A and B are shown apart, each in its own frame.
Chain A
Amino acid sequence: MNDETRHRTEPDGGHTTDGGHASAGERTTDGEHETDGGRATDGGHATAGDELDPSRIDGHADAAEEAFPPLGSIKRWFVTTNHKDIGILYTLTALFFLVFGGVLALLMRVQLWTPGGNFLSPLSYNQAVTAHGLLMVFWFLSPFAFGFANYVVPLQIGAKDLAFPRLNALSYWLYLFSGVLFGVSFFQGQSLAGGWTMYAPLNLPTYMPNVGATTAILALVLFVASVTVSSVNFLTTMHRMRAEGLTYWRLPLFTWTILLTVWMMLFAFAALLAALLILTSDRLLGTTYFAAEGSGSLLWAHLFWFFGHPEVYIVFFPALGVMAETFQTFTGRRLVGRKWFILAMILVAVQSFAVWMHHMFLTGINLQVKTLFMATTIGISLPFDLMVFALIYTMIKGRIRFTTPFLFSFGALVLFIIGGITGVFLGAIVLDYEFRGTYWVVAHFHYVMVGGVTALIGGLYYWFPKMTGRMYDEWLGKVHFGLFFVGFNLLYFPMFLAWETPRRVIEYDPAFVTWHQLATVGAFVLGASFLVMFWNLSRSLFVGEEAGDNPWEFATTAEWAVPSPPPLENFPGTPSYGSGSLRFLTTERALTPGEGSGGAPGVADGGTTAAVGGIDHDLDSRGLGGHDPDRSHDPNHGHESHASVWPFVVGLASFVVFLGLSGFRDGGLPPGMEGGIYAGIAVVGTAFLAFALVGMARQRFRGPAGPFGESWPFDGVENTKLGVWIFLASDVVLFGAFIGAYVFTRVAHGWVDWHVVPHDPTPGLVNTYLLLTSSFSVVLALVAAEKGSRYGLLAGLTATLVLGVGFLANKAIEWNELFHEGLTLSSSVETSTFYLTTGLHGAHVLVGLLIVLYMMGRAARGAYLDDERPVEYFGLYWHFVDIVWLFLFPLFYII
């Protein structure tokens, strides 16, 4: 980021020995103007090698690989796919949303200065409450943690980048644009005003008619899309791309917490997506899921809290990881009971999916279920006791240095203990009955959640030197902590004392005025403490001391063994723990950490191709189908791409599409100009998105290629294939939640005994035949591709397309008939479930057919014949869509 760090610039990031490089002539080996804080950039050479998609060998010129601009360039930040850049983008954007959500909180606290103030109108207050919750939970907490996860996890596990760098950039842009969309919602009449829990049926247009409320929900949908892409990416990376010797037990604790977090995210956010899609459909298309008397309210509560409770750990686990790392580093001790700590976290992650009904103890669920969920809730609190004690005992015999990161972690542990103890109160159902909907809950979860934030802020100070190469000002850091900790307790502790105040009210019992005023004072102290942080960090960026590779004594993890900030491809050789501690293997010799820093000439040389001589064992050699999926076919497989503008374009296009959609309501548009404008935006956005997606698909881009050190238990499963499977697993939960919603509604309304909407099962049966046949034709296409038959491949794909179109046409005819009988989406909740669930499946079919169409175009030019993997992976998706239908057909046409 500045010239002082130039001396660490390595000669061209270790690409110099990539022998068969087709375009060596174009190379610009310019250590001169690439002063990007020690990151070697391999600026601007277009490789003409064998891409993953071999259709290029037919001479067709695809969009060339993009050049990678230096750090100082604005363009860099729009095209970067490097995990460290993305990590910085996440961190900064999340901090912006912290300020956004924080200002809303201050507005609320100003309103509560007097018991009956009228600083805000009731609806403004409700919007502030809602937006504060949503922004902090979704747009600040997790993305802030994922800033670190992006930056640090690949370094800790010894990967050069995430498995799918472009998708990582896509996650970021979807996240950013979802936040922008949420911001837009305030300018469309009124944003959501029903609390972050968005309880039904208040969340429906009957009660919240403004376009802004729809926009906010669509913003959440876009956010979930970002999270899903990100989860798939992280899971593939962390399971497949660990350095040699990094088995699961040996993963650093921060990496462990992120691993468990993304697993929870994958499944929990799929359930939230189901809830949001149903809500979107209720608002846009006029289905009546959540309006249905006697099932709608509770259905929302189940879907939301099935996501909502794991979400608590999703936001807290990364904080726990930071605490574990900083406790170890700054006490100079290894974590006590490390294995048990990890096991406790695994237990929590699994069990977090079986406690959600503790948010519903008063909804009239039966006593058996209450008892069961009380037991699981108490059960899930116990592992945390172990974790807390493990952290405390780690201090014993330590050499504790009270640096800013440690102070924040230590403070976080204190706050978490208080939050945990007050949470046990809520676990006792009899007490929960009275605490429900009061400030006790508010105080408790802020102690837990903002306790987590406390640790994450510590994480920011901890990794700041690594991310910037500069030290922050230690004294100002301590001032920040002091103000933060005092402000925090001044803000949230009085809420326990005023606990009888109902939540989310703008006026309260004057008896509590002292406590509420203390809280307001605390809120401003807490807010002000961040001004100190922003001043400290932004100033240190320019005048801070040089941090060196490892400013912390007793840090052990790999990110401290590389320069600060690390070079573009992270390591001076292939990282390996094969010998029992970290080594960077090169063709010449092994480097111990520390030796590699400073960019010694000859060290970086051949770094990325070192696997050839260093650790050339191949854990993945039992690949299927005769080819080794991890090994690229081209000789220069060490080369990776780092730039693509398409993720940004796709993010922007998605934003436009969703903005256009927000105007729809009950299957129609607002009258007049307004409706026309929204429809126009939606149409333009869709075309733009199609253009962007095709552009992204056609771009040549290469992510990190194997072989990797440790990939168990997914040895031999190529990254993309694993990614597809993980995505499908989340899709299982999405459809599962839709089917669950249908079953729940059926049970609530007592529909038993052969009860279906379409009285004639024939169209459904015909569609079953069509889809089964299309699955078969995809299999035949794959067989043809394996045999190298272009004709067979094209025939198989064409047959799939025809059968799929037939499926959709048949469905269209069927629906049309049903509509004419008066059975529309909004006739009743049963027609709603029928149309929406099968409609979601239909949308999956449509997406599949668009992919088929694209593949046919490529196949016609000879693609896929010597690398049929794209056909195989498409098949995985298509068969999944088939399997879903195998269940939807009986559920909606027979029983």
Chain B
Amino acid sequence: MTSTKLYTAIYVVLFAMATAQVLIEFAGLAYWVGVAAILALSSLKAVMVAGYYQHLRFEPPAISAVVLVGLLAALVLTFAAAYSIL
């Protein structure tokens, strides 16, 4: 598969997943199930964009690690802060 074809295929998948996210809201799922599904889709899309469009898959893993450390810091802040007032 040439790179252009691959990029196009990814684009189509991303498009479809975005649509699916909105449909989930109206699918009548339980709230937290819906939230989990929607965020899982977002994460999947993010991984695809980062892996192929930003070609992280083909870079040294250290670059992904740098970004993931930032993500981890943000998650620690978000969850610890929210949990502290529960």
Residues of A within 8 A of B (CB): 266-267, 270-271, 298-299, 302-303, 306, 353-354, 357, 360, 364-366, 369, 624, 713-717, 722, 725-726, 728-730, 732-733, 735-737, 739-740, 743-744, 747-748, 752-754, 761, 765, 768-769, 772-773, 775-776, 778-780, 783, 875-876, 879-880, 882-883, 886-887, 889-890, 894-895
| Complex: A385 Cα to B32 Cα, angstroms | 45
| Complex: A33 Cα to B52 Cα, angstroms | 55
| Complex: A682 Cα to B66 Cα, angstroms | 36
B11 touching A772, Cβ below 8 Å: yes
Which of B31, B42, B66 is packed against the most chain A CB atoms within 10 Å? B66
Which of B21, B70, B76 is packed against the most chain A CB atoms within 10 Å? B70
Which of B22, B46, B69, B77 is packed against the most chain A CB atoms within 10 Å? B77
B58 touching A624, Cβ below 8 Å: yes
Which of B21, B39, B41 is packed against the most chain A CB atoms within 10 Å? B21
A761 touching B25, Cβ below 8 Å: yes
| Complex: A778 Cα to B55 Cα, angstroms | 13
Interface residues in B1-39 (C-beta closer than 8 Å to A) = 3-4, 7-8, 11, 14-15, 18-19, 21-22, 24-25, 31, 34-35, 38-39
A357 touching B80, Cβ below 8 Å: yes
Residues of B within 8 A of A (CB): 3-4, 7-8, 11, 14-15, 18-19, 21-22, 24-25, 31, 34-35, 38-39, 41-42, 45-46, 49-50, 53-55, 58-63, 66-67, 69-71, 73-78, 80-86
Report if A267-B69 is in contact (Cβ < 8 Å); known contacts: A737-B77, A752-B31. Answer: yes
Compute the total of residue contacts between A and B using a CB distance below 8 Å.
165
Known: A729-B67, A737-B77, A895-B31. 20 other contacts (CB 8 A): A266-B70, A302-B81, A353-B76, A713-B60, A714-B62, A722-B63, A728-B67, A733-B74, A736-B75, A736-B78, A739-B78, A743-B82, A754-B31, A761-B25, A775-B49, A779-B7, A879-B49, A879-B53, A883-B45, A889-B42
Closest to A882 in B: B49
A369 touching B84, Cβ below 8 Å: yes
| Complex: A715 Cα to B8 Cα, angstroms | 30
A876 touching B54, Cβ below 8 Å: yes
| Chain A residues, CB < 8 A from B41 | 890
A369 touching B69, Cβ below 8 Å: no
B84 touching A366, Cβ below 8 Å: yes
State the majority secondary structure of interface residues on B: helix
| Chain A residues, CB < 8 A from B86 | 366, 747
Instruction: Give 10 nearest A-B pairs by CB, closest first.
Output: A736-B74, A740-B78, A713-B62, A732-B70, A729-B70, A365-B84, A302-B81, A776-B11, A369-B84, A747-B82
B7 touching A783, Cβ below 8 Å: yes
A357 touching B84, Cβ below 8 Å: yes
Report if A772-B15 is in contact (Cβ < 8 Å); known contacts: A733-B70, A779-B7. Answer: yes
A267 touching B4, Cβ below 8 Å: no
| Complex: A369 Cα to B82 Cα, angstroms | 11
Instruction: List 19 contacting pairs A-B, 8 Å CB cutoff, sorted by A.
Output: A267-B70, A271-B77, A302-B77, A302-B81, A306-B77, A717-B59, A732-B71, A736-B70, A736-B71, A736-B77, A747-B82, A772-B15, A779-B53, A879-B49, A883-B46, A887-B42, A890-B41, A895-B34, A895-B38
| Complex: A747 Cα to B79 Cα, angstroms | 10
User: Of A744, A754, A780, which is within 8 A of B4 by CB?
Assistant: A780
User: Of A298, A353, A713, which is within 8 A of B85 by CB?
Assistant: A298
Closest to B65 in A: A713
| Complex: A725 Cα to B81 Cα, angstroms | 27
| Complex: A717 Cα to B38 Cα, angstroms | 34
| Chain A residues, CB < 8 A from B75 | 736
A765 touching B70, Cβ below 8 Å: no
Report if A748-B21 is in contact (Cβ < 8 Å); known contacts: A722-B63, A737-B77. Answer: no
| Complex: A360 Cα to B81 Cα, angstroms | 11
User: Of B60, B82, B85, which is within 8 A of A714 by CB?
Assistant: B60
| Chain A residues, CB < 8 A from B25 | 754, 761, 894-895
Report if A717-B77 is in contact (Cβ < 8 Å); known contacts: A729-B69, A894-B25. Answer: no
B62 to A: closest C-beta gap in Å:
4
Report if A890-B54 is in contact (Cβ < 8 Å); known contacts: A714-B60, A732-B74, A744-B81. Answer: no
Closest to A773 in B: B11
Closest to B38 in A: A890
| Chain B residues, CB < 8 A from A739 | 74, 78
| Chain B residues, CB < 8 A from A267 | 69-70, 73
| Chain A residues, CB < 8 A from B83 | 366, 369
A647 to B: closest C-beta gap in Å:
25
| Complex: A110 Cα to B54 Cα, angstroms | 59
| Chain A residues, CB < 8 A from B59 | 624, 717
A278 to B: closest C-beta gap in Å:
14
B82 to A: closest C-beta gap in Å:
4
A359 to B: closest C-beta gap in Å:
12
| Chain A residues, CB < 8 A from B15 | 769, 772
Closest to A370 in B: B84
Report if A744-B60 is in contact (Cβ < 8 Å); known contacts: A733-B74, A736-B75, A890-B39. Answer: no
A725 touching B67, Cβ below 8 Å: yes
Closest to A742 in B: B78
| Chain A residues, CB < 8 A from B69 | 267, 729
B77 to A: closest C-beta gap in Å:
5
Closest to A357 in B: B84
| Chain A residues, CB < 8 A from B24 | 894
Closest to A235 in B: B66
| Chain A residues, CB < 8 A from B77 | 271, 302-303, 306, 736-737, 740
| Complex: A731 Cα to B2 Cα, angstroms | 32
| Chain B residues, CB < 8 A from A889 | 18, 21, 42
A369 touching B80, Cβ below 8 Å: yes
Report if A354-B50 is in contact (Cβ < 8 Å); known contacts: A753-B31, A776-B11, A890-B21. Answer: no
Report if A879-B74 is in contact (Cβ < 8 Å); known contacts: A713-B60, A729-B66, A780-B7. Answer: no
| Chain B residues, CB < 8 A from A753 | 31
| Chain B residues, CB < 8 A from A271 | 73, 77
A725 touching B74, Cβ below 8 Å: no
A614 to B: closest C-beta gap in Å:
26
B78 touching A743, Cβ below 8 Å: yes
Closest to A364 in B: B85
B5 to A: closest C-beta gap in Å:
11
Closest to A360 in B: B84
| Complex: A783 Cα to B54 Cα, angstroms | 13
B50 touching A883, Cβ below 8 Å: yes
Report if A768-B49 is in contact (Cβ < 8 Å); known contacts: A365-B84, A752-B31. Answer: no
| Complex: A389 Cα to B65 Cα, angstroms | 33
B35 to A: closest C-beta gap in Å:
5
| Complex: A854 Cα to B54 Cα, angstroms | 21
A733 touching B84, Cβ below 8 Å: no
| Complex: A302 Cα to B83 Cα, angstroms | 12
| Chain A residues, CB < 8 A from B18 | 765, 768-769, 772, 886, 889
A890 touching B42, Cβ below 8 Å: yes
| Complex: A736 Cα to B71 Cα, angstroms | 7
B58 to A: closest C-beta gap in Å:
6
B4 touching A783, Cβ below 8 Å: yes
| Complex: A886 Cα to B55 Cα, angstroms | 18
| Chain B residues, CB < 8 A from A725 | 63, 66-67
B73 to A: closest C-beta gap in Å:
5
Report if A715-B60 is in contact (Cβ < 8 Å); known contacts: A271-B77, A895-B35. Answer: yes
| Complex: A876 Cα to B53 Cα, angstroms | 8
A717 touching B58, Cβ below 8 Å: no
B34 to A: closest C-beta gap in Å:
7
| Complex: A350 Cα to B39 Cα, angstroms | 27
| Complex: A779 Cα to B15 Cα, angstroms | 15
| Chain B residues, CB < 8 A from A754 | 25, 31, 34
Closest to A722 in B: B63
B86 to A: closest C-beta gap in Å:
7
| Complex: A561 Cα to B32 Cα, angstroms | 63
| Chain B residues, CB < 8 A from A775 | 11, 49, 53
Which of B15, B70, B81 is packed against the most chain A CB atoms within 10 Å? B81
A733 touching B11, Cβ below 8 Å: no
